[in-house]
Structure formats: C-alpha cells, structure tokens
Amino acid sequence: MIKHKMKSMILVVCLVLGLSSWGFVSNTHVAHADALQIVQKVTGNIFYSTDEKSFKINTSGDGIHWIYYDYWGNEVESGQLAISGGTADLVVEPARNGWFRLIVTAKQGDNVLTIKETSFAVVAPFDASTIENSPFSVQTHAARTDIIAQSADALVPVSAKLGVKYLRDSFRWEDVERIPNELEFQVFHDNYLDLLGTYGIKPFMTLALYNALYDNGMSPTSEEARLAFANYAKGLLGNYPEVNWVEVWNEPDIPSFSKGLNTDEERAEFYFNLLKTTYEELKPLFPNVTISGMDVAEFGSGHFLEDLYQRGALQYMDEYSFHSYVRIPEEIIGEIENHKNLMKQYNNNQLIPMNLSETGFTNFNFDEYVQANYTARRVATALTQGIKSINIYNLQNRSTLPNDFEGTFGMVRHPDDAKGAYVPKPSFVAYATIIRQLSDAQFVQIEDVAPGLVYVYKFNNGTDDIYVMYAPSGTEVELHTTEAVQLTDMMGNSTQLQPDNGVVSLSLTQDPVYVKGSLTEINDIVPEITGPVSLLYSFYDGGYAETEGTLGTATNKWVTSSVLKGYDGRGSRAITHPTGASVRWLPAISVPGPYRISVYLPGNPAAPAYTTQQALYSIYVNDVKIDEIEVNQFHAQGKWLELGVYDMPRGANSYVLLEDSSALHDRPLRADALKLDLIPATDFDLELDSLTIQAGDAYTFMPIFTPVEATNRTVVWTSSNHEVASIDSAGNLQALHPGETTIRAFHPATHKFADVLVRVVDHPVIVPITIDSHYNTSGYTEQNGSLGTATNKWVNSTVLKGYHGGISRAITHPTDASAKWTPMLPQEGGYRISVYLPGNPETPAYTTTAARYSIYVDDELIDQMVINQFLLQGSWQELGTYRLPAGSHSYVVLEDANPAHNRPLRADAARFELTPITDVSLEPQQLTLTIGQSAGLLATFTPTDATDSGFIWSSSDPAIVTVDGTGEVTALKAGEAIVRATNPLTGIYAEATVTVEAVEPI
C-alpha cells in the first residue's frame, strides 16, 4: 500500500526562524540588536553575473568600511558607506566571475564597533536542463528530517546556480515504511522532487538504509527484509516516475553501513543478496531506470569486490558505482584502474558504465583554497578515465567547526556558520566553472607534453576542442594555433588570446584553466623567473609515494600518526617496523637550477618520540644516485633539516628516497614533507677588497650573496697573474711568488663580479687581534675576599653598566679580593692592554679611588698601575703596551690598593689588542754623506696606532755604512749601501740608499 501523509508544519516554521537569524530571509525577520549584520538578499550570496550584487547592512554605527578580495587574495574593491537609520544597501561590482571574501567594518566616527566577514560568488548564468547528458552531480541531505537534514528550499536553488544535472539524495526506507507493508511517502518527499523539477534538476536516488521493522534494524539479510527493501524501492519508482536513476545501498563494505556484520565475507553475502533481490524485483517493472550497484567506499585490498564478482554481482546492475577519497586529485587514475582491472578480470575483459558516486575533499585535511583546486583537478582527471558521472560530496557543510572531518566536505557553509548561511566556499565556483566548460563535452585524449610537468586533457563539445590545463609545480607552455583561443580561469573568467606568429604563450599554475580553440601543438618551455621558486611535496600535497615493507605485517605498513604532527600541523606518516619500506618524494622541476633540499622531521623536540636514528635520505638526479645523508630522526625531530644544495634538471626524473639504514629496523621510520627552494641571488660581493699573504700560504675566498640564502652560488674565478697566485674553481687561492695579482670572482647568474687585490710577500703576514675578556667568558675569574661576609663577595651590578651595556661586577668590601683577566693569545707580539671602568661619569657611583692593575707576562709581574675608578668610571683606560708571548700565561690582576678597603671595587672588561704594521717607509729614501758624517733615518709606519712597531736596522755593507738601533747611520768609507728597517713581527721592511763620498782634500 502506498499513501501520502501530511507532516506537521512545526519543523518548517523553526527552519524559517532559524534561517532568519542569519539574515537569510526578508528584512522583516532581521533583528537590529547586533552592532553589524550582513543580510543576504540572495540565498548564500550566490549571484549570476547578470544580477545586482548587493547586501543589506544593518548596524548601530554611523558608517561602514568594506573591502573584498578574490580567490587569489587580490583586492578587488573597497569603500566607505554612510549609514542612516541603522540600515543601508551595499552594492558591489567586481566586473568578473569568481569567489570573493567580503570584510565589513562597522564604525561610529573613527571608532571600530565590530568586524564581520562573509563571502559571495558570481557565476555565469547556466541552465543544466538544456544539457542532455551532463555528468555532473552533487550530494545533498535535503530529502529527510533527521538530525543531519538540510533545507531543500535553500539547497536546490543553490544547486541550480552551481549547474549540476543531478542531485544525489535518498528517500530513506525508514521514513517511507513505518508500518509493515505500508509505504507512506511524505510531503517533504513530494516537495523535494517538485523543487528539482522546477529548477530542471534530475534526482539520483540512493536506496537506503536500515529499517527497525526488519532484522532488528540491522543490515537486511533475511529474505523478508530483502523483499521489503525491494518493495520500498518499487514503491519509490512507482510513485515518482521522474526518478530514473537509483543505486542500491551505500558503502556496504564498511562497518558504518553494514550494521550487525563483522567480516568482509558476511558483508559481501549480504550485499549480493540485497542487490540481486532488488534488481530482480525492479528491472522487469522499470526497464528504463538505471540501477547502479556495488557503491563501495574504497577499493581497499579488493577482496570484498572479488567476493561479489565471484558470486556474479555484475549481472544485477546496469552500472558500477564506487566512491573515492584518495588524497591527491590525480591519484584517482590509479583507483579507477584498480576497479577497471578487477572488473575486466571477471567480465571477459569488458567494462560496464562506471559512476563515481562520491568524491570530494574535507577541510580537515585541506584548506578551502586547496579544496577548490583539488575539486577541479579531481573532476577533470576522472572524466579522462571514461567515468559516466561524478558526484561531489558534499554540497553543504554538515558542521560549523572549521576543521571537522565529516562536516567540512561542503562547497557552501552550514546555515549556522558565523560567516553566513549557505555562503560559498571557493570550491563552489571551481566546480561551477568546470560544469560550464565540460557539461556537453566528451573526453578525447590526454595530451603528452614533455617533460611531464603539465596535465593537458582534451575534450570536444561537438563544435570546439576544450583543453583542461594545469601544472602543479608551475611552468609555461606555447600553444600553436592559427586563430584566437579562449582562456577561462578556474573562477570562470574568460579572455581571448591572439597568437603571435602562430603561438600563444601561457603561464600555468596548479589552478586548472580551460582553453577553447584549435591547437596543433603544445610545447612546455622553461619559465623566466624573477624571484624564488619554492616547491613542496608531501602525503597531502602530492609528489609523494610509499612502498610498504616486505614482511606483510600490520606494523610493516605505513600509517598516519596523529600524535607526531607534520610541518603544517596535519598528521605525519610512520611505519613501526620499516623492513623493506621506503618513501619517495617526486618533484616536478620546471625551472632547472640549484635547489636547497630540506625535509621536515615530524615530532616534538621537547618530548621526542621513539624514532629511528638511521634515516637514510638518498638524492637521485635523472634516476642516478648522487648523494646520501644519514639523519638521526630521534634527535632532530620537530624541525626542517637541510640535506644540501643540488643542481636539479628540468623534468620529473629526480627524486629523494627515504629508507631505514639500521640493520635491525627496530625503531619507527617517519616521513612528512620535502621542500625545494631555488633562491636567485640579486647581488654579489667578496668579504674583502685586498689581501696580503705570504708566498706558500693558501686562502679560501668567501663569496657574499644577497639574499644570504641564495642557492645559485656558482662563481667563476680568475687570476690576472698566475705567476704570483693561482686560484681554483672553488675559490681556493695559492700564493706562489712575491708580487701583485687581481683575483676576479664572476657570478654568471647576476653578471656581477668582485675584484680583490692580492699582494704576495716573502714574510709572514700577521693579522690584527682584539680579545675582550669579561664576566661570563672563559678568560675571566674572580677571587672572593677573606672575610667571608656577604659584602666581601663579588656580585652583579645592573646599575653600573659594563662596556657593552650589560652587567658589571662589584665587591662592596674588597679585602683580599681580586679579579683576573687571562686571555688565550694566538700570536706573540706587542699588545695594548686597556680596561673598562663601569659606571656613569655624569653621576659617578661610590667606588674605590685606588684600583691596582698588575700586568703579568709569563706568570711574572712586570708592571702595576693604580687608577681612580671613581673619577674615571664609564671609560676605557689604557694600561700600556706590552710584549706578550702566545698562550695563556700573561694576564691582568685587579685588586684594591686602598688599605681601608672601604669603597667598592668594580670590574668589567680587559681588552688585549695586537695591531701589526701594514706598511713602512723611510725618510729620506736617498741620503748622501761624507766619510765621518752621521744622520738619522726616520721609519714611518701605518697604521699609526700599531702596537708592535719595533724595527731591526741593518746595512747591506757595514764597511761603508753602519746603523744603530734608532736608525742613526754613520759613513765610514766611500761607496753605497742599502739600509733596511725590518719589523720583526710582520717581516715588513723599507729601505734607503746611503751614498758615502770621500772628503775632498783642502
């Protein structure tokens, strides 16, 4: 028996009032208590491009500021709007299609009252009823009244603007048969199908699910329950002749939809019997109704499906229905191939029509922008595999929580969402665009475009070729054509592109575009880049493939770890016993060059998880292994780790392989993300302009790049005089012979160069040395006083700042106390020793007036100086210049020389400076004397503050000229001699020519 039953209107009234609180219905239902309301004039703010795009603004303020952005984050429009009487209309005109993020700020004068955000969509007008065989469908839950019921009044018009041909929903068995053998279709069932008819949408009905009247509400396994289920299906088709497409049950392979069954064998037996009974009861009565079977949640191991095939399930369906939620859009190809191959195995190598009745992406794993991109790519890719129809799950979010797994598959928001009832997510427009492009098109072929970086799918609508194109890692293509082509972006905006010499150049990104026109050839070309290139690959981002272990056990398989978070907070991947297991990251390189390769090691460094200490990362370039790095994943978890910089060629034949190199394989191996960064240098220089080096010594230059993380660091090195110094390709200089040469470093990437004047000398080259010894350094020690009191101990002084603005040290009663600075001197020489006296000279603190500084050389006291710390505080004071040996046996000791010890002694830093001379000259350089005369030569050196400025004087011929230690020369006999002044520390010298003339007789 079939009859109709009038439902109570209470639900309808509650639904209307609920919607009004979100500004969905007419203004009469809008409350003005909020500081700001953005009231929808059109359900979900979803507009046709021909509509006025407007919103009713209610606010207690006197004005608003508004701004909105497109899908790519570009500002489109902004402005101010004065508010009078608490309300005004906001009209926007983006002059384009797409998804837009609107932000409205309510203000009172200059004061911000509140800020609210919503979104809206603009799509081209489209009538799916004019398309005979569109493959596009979307899921709703609008033909029911339970806890997850949705509003057909809201969602059917939204679906029409989306452009789908079909809505997948269900008149649930439990709602229809509430009394045994009596079928009662409800008013909401009639209204639902009436709405679909009004909007030209066809129903795709799932026959489901349980009924408490049969088999205790479990899966209908008894013959009575199966016949009752088939009777419900017959009643549905008989009562609603507009329903010409149904599927039997939903996901019978998983526990959620096989209540009471525990094994795959039980589930397969149940579903086969139900499918057979339903088909045999329906098909003779409704031969034109398409009956879809299987409807599995996932391919899995294939055992459930094999069982059904072996039982002969294919003869009880007109088409094969399956679901797929594989992470990466293009992985659907492998999933479909699995289904096809198994079907062919049991069906004489033949296929029946295939229906992808559920697919989609949740915001639990993917943000809303990725969801949009992935949706378009998933749909286009599935259509290339001969799929008859595609149903996106879900039209509406089932939750208001932004990261709820089941609740965020939707393309529009929940009616209670803070951003607005039914407002679109970017995926709504992405799906609407591909529907408008391909609804009446047939797949032709996948275009093979070397080197495999671009996805190009060719379709034809009977008039035009339509190409779906995208490149997840980005690239450029040249489209060869003799006529203009139409380019439509993922948001539905079309432009005409004219060829230049038969070529249209196009930059491709991860977002699909649609090219309509006749193309004779498609070439992938190297893009010109003006900035960094960053590529990322992971379990969720693509370019990632796992190989399970060879043991076949549960712990020898990769699983998701929700505890050890990946680089972006999502779960990472792990395998407990990694014997024979591996991961490959497979980048697609469009721009060849040097890439810094880094991997993320999941985990928490504060509480490291048990992880392998021998993770082996192998770098392959063009399928050839060029390097390997072993990483301790246990110690380094929770951070990005750089593997190195490698020259990566264009294409998709280079990769990184991760394995466990431990022979025991007894600690988990973990995998997450791989990042490749090509960072062009914008400027280039060297660390010095000149270099003095001793013959026989070597030096390695250090190029300086801007930015510092630049990866293109190839430099070409040359020497202007190979006899003086040579330099290799790595910037290693070898000093050969005294003289001068110019070293040039040329950076081909920027066409910039840097020159260094190199002077090769035949004596050692001494570099300046400055050592600051102070509190908290290894060279500073203290000795507390002998009294043992609190004031006889060294303490920090934060009031009297040290030389670097930090704390200094002080002791209030310094009886027998001391401080000591002991530097580690790398070079013997003359050192200037200075000490810093902490304090502020403008407001001097109470301090000793007799601080005694004792200088020790080789542990022997050689000098002392008493300084008034009170008068000189806040300044450096030079103690003197002393010749100190290399090592740590020379030091300065500070004590209080005041016998009363009644004023604080203070200590901070001691500085030891060795400043070698860099040049010397003699004046005069030419000197003429007569026998018996004497004259002085003056050695002038630079820098003038050199600390080791002593000279050894010598004469090339002491029989002609002698010279003493001060440069005083004496002429002994006629002739010529060279007098040299040599600095013993550096070996630098200068010479003067002395000519001695005989005394002419009188």
- 877 touches 803 (CB < 8 A): no
> Which one-letter amino acid corresponds to residue 338?
N
- 585 touches 537 (CB < 8 A): yes
- 646 touches 595 (CB < 8 A): yes
How far is Cα 276 from Cα 283, in angstroms, rounded to an integer?
11
**In terms of pTM, does the model score above 0.75?**
yes
442-446 and 905-907 as β-strands: parallel, antiparallel, unpaired? Answer: unpaired
**Half-sphere exposure of residue 573, counting CA atoms within 13 Å on the CB side?**
22
- 65 touches 102 (CB < 8 A): no
Beta-bridged to residue 565, according to DSSP, are 571
Q: 3-state class of 584 per DSSP?
A: strand
**Half-sphere exposure of residue 542, counting CA atoms within 13 Å on the CB side?**
19
Beta-bridged to residue 6, according to DSSP, are none
152-162 and 187-198 helices, crossing angle to 10°: 20
| Alpha helices (H) along 460-543 | none
> Which one-letter amino acid corresponds to residue 607?
A
- 302 touches 345 (CB < 8 A): no
- Residue written as tokens 């019997």? 273
How far is Cα 719 from Cα 727, in angstroms, rounded to an integer?
7
- Residue written as tokens 């008039």? 463
Q: List the Cα angle 350/353/358 in 5-degree steps.
A: 130
How far is Cα 712 from Cα 710, in angstroms, rounded to an integer?
6
Other CB atoms within 10 Å distance of the CB of residue 770: 11
- Where are the strands (E) in 12-86, listed by range? 36-40, 46-48, 53-59, 63-70, 75-82
Q: What is the pLDDT of residue 299?
A: 84
Q: Mean pLDDT by 10-residue block, N- to C-terminus, for the chain (1002 residues)?
A: 42 33 37 76 98 98 98 98 96 98 97 97 96 96 91 98 98 97 96 97 97 98 98 98 98 96 96 99 98 92 92 98 96 97 97 98 94 98 97 96 92 97 99 98 97 97 98 97 98 98 97 98 93 96 96 94 91 96 97 97 92 97 98 95 97 97 96 97 93 94 95 96 97 97 96 96 89 90 95 91 88 96 95 96 93 97 97 96 96 97 96 95 96 96 94 95 96 96 91 92 68
Phi and psi, residue 810, nearest 5°: -150, 155
Q: What is the pLDDT of residue 738?
A: 96
How far is Cα 735 from Cα 721, in angstroms, rounded to an integer?
11
- Residue written as tokens 């008859």? 388
Structure token digits, residue 579: 């014997």
Binning the chain into helix, strand and coil, the percentages to the nearest 5 are 15, 40, 45
How far is Cα 382 from Cα 169, in angstroms, rounded to an integer?
22
How far is Cα 854 from Cα 826, in angstroms, rounded to an integer?
22
Q: Work out the end-to-end distance of the chain between its first and last CA atoms, rounded to an integer number of angstroms.
A: 159
Q: What is the pLDDT of residue 32?
A: 38
How far is Cα 589 from Cα 652, in angstroms, rounded to an integer?
6
Backbone Cα Rg of the chain: 42
Q: 3-state class of 885 per DSSP?
A: coil
- Residue written as tokens 């939707």? 410
Handedness of CA 32, 38, 39, 41 (dihedral sign): positive
CA 457 to chain centre: 29
Q: What is the pLDDT of residue 2?
A: 55
Beta-bridged to residue 186, according to DSSP, are 5
Structural domains in the chain?
32-123 (2.60.40.2550), 134-438 (3.20.20.80), 442-525 (2.60.40.1180), 533-678 (2.60.120.260), 689-756 (2.60.40.1080), 769-914 (2.60.120.260), 919-997 (2.60.40.1080)
Phi and psi, residue 772, nearest 5°: -100, 120
Handedness of CA 682, 686, 687, 690 (dihedral sign): negative
Q: What is the pLDDT of residue 34?
A: 73
Structure token digits, residue 1: 């028996």
Other CB atoms within 10 Å distance of the CB of residue 805: 6
Question: Which residue, among 72, 314, 43, has the nearest Cα to 195 in the 3D structure?
Answer: 43
Question: Which residue, among 40, 45, 18, 19, has the nearest Cα to 158 in the 3D structure?
Answer: 45
How far is Cα 698 from Cα 719, in angstroms, rounded to an integer?
14
> Which one-letter amino acid corresponds to residue 649?
P
- 720, with CB counted inside 10 A (0-12, 13-18, 19+), is middle
Q: What is the pLDDT of residue 1002?
A: 66
